[in-house]
Structure 1
Amino acid sequence: MKWIAYALAAAVSIAPAFADDSTPVGLWKNIDDVTGKPKALIRISENNGVLQGKIEQLFRAPTEDQNPKCEKCEDARKNQPIIGMVFMSGLKKDGDAYTGGEILDPDNGKVYKSKMHLSDNGKKLNVRGYIGVPMLGRSQVWLRQE
């Protein structure tokens, strides 16, 4: 019986090593496209073929508010805590990309159209937020954590 418990414990402990790199589902560290520094940990989940992203952790200076609210948001997320917030939604697989979604920038409260695609064998996620057409926007590269 002990060996079954050990086998189960070993299987659970190495499960993250077998994450599915062919899908964006998982935990990502986003890198600020302006500063080049880590900004947050984001959990992407899928429900019925639609992806959404939730902020799990912010990387902030010790002097900054560690649990800020989205003061500049203009929708139902106004004054809601950023940690735990669904800020990305509606992305669906379209060939090698995920398109048709939207992404909120909690720093300015603006909502943008979004698209993304995996690169580097699923280790990186290229995320683009834009207004109107994709060439009018900003991109970030997120790094897979699990």
Structure 2
Amino acid sequence: MKKLSIGMILGGALLAFNAFAQSATPVGLWKNIDDVSGKPKAMIRITESDGVLQGKIEKLYREPTEDPNPKCDKCDGNNKDKPIIGMTILRGLKADGASYDGGTIIDPHNGATYKCKMTLVDNGKKLDVRGYIGFSLLGRTQTWIREE
């Protein structure tokens, strides 16, 4: 009986640690909230490979009168006229202390690419994503909400 109780306690502790470890990174599905309207814009899945993060748009929130599968007509290069759903918009972010930095983010609305910095907040439930030109002070921040 005693061994079973200790095993259950250790098992529960490992599960709790695993849940905390998973939420301590930006890896997962995030709802992008428009910093002007406050409405959801997209769902972005952030993945990690060899310590480098990338993020891809999985879903767009669109009005019924809007094109459900718009293309990035303002993007340059490989993204020119490609569907926004499925587009990799975050690239090259690496852990830098409590933040993730050194990468870029594409704004499919205007086709521009910005430097990007991300910071987990609210115990990993939210992600502050900052796009900027040159210095981090010259930019804007959106808060994304963790979905899973």
TM class, shorter-length: 0.7 to 0.9
> Within 5 Å, which residues of 2 pair with 1:53-92?
53-92=55-94
Per-residue deviation, residues 85-135 of structure 1 (Å, max 9, x unmatched): 001100000000000000000000000000001000000000000000001
Partners of 1:37 and 1:43 in 2: how far apart? Answer: 18
Helix, strand or coil: the match of 2:117? strand
Q: Percent identity?
A: 65
Give 2:31's match in structure 1, choosing from 16, 29, 32. 29
Equivalenced residues, count: 129
Match of 1:119 in 2: 121
- Choose 1 or 2 for highest CA Rg: 2
RMSD (CA atoms): 0.8
Paired amino acid for 2:80: K
Structure 1 moving runs of 4+ over 2 Å: none
TM-score between the two structures when normalised by the length of structure 2: 0.86
> How far has the Cα of 1:53 moved from its partner?
0.3
How far off is 1:80 after superposition? 0.3
* Map of 1:15 onto structure 2: none
Q: How far apart, in 2, do the equivalents of 1:75 and 1:55 lie?
A: 18
CA distance in 1, matches of 2:58, 2:34: 16
Between the aligned partners of 2:76 and 2:139, the Cα distance in structure 1 is: 20
Query: Where does the alignment leave 5 or more consecutive residues of structure 1 unmatched?
Result: 1-17
Q: Distance in 1 between matches of 2:85 and 2:76?
A: 17
CA distance in 2, matches of 1:53, 1:138: 18
Question: 1:59 corresponds to which letter in structure 2?
Answer: Y
TM-score (norm 1): 0.87
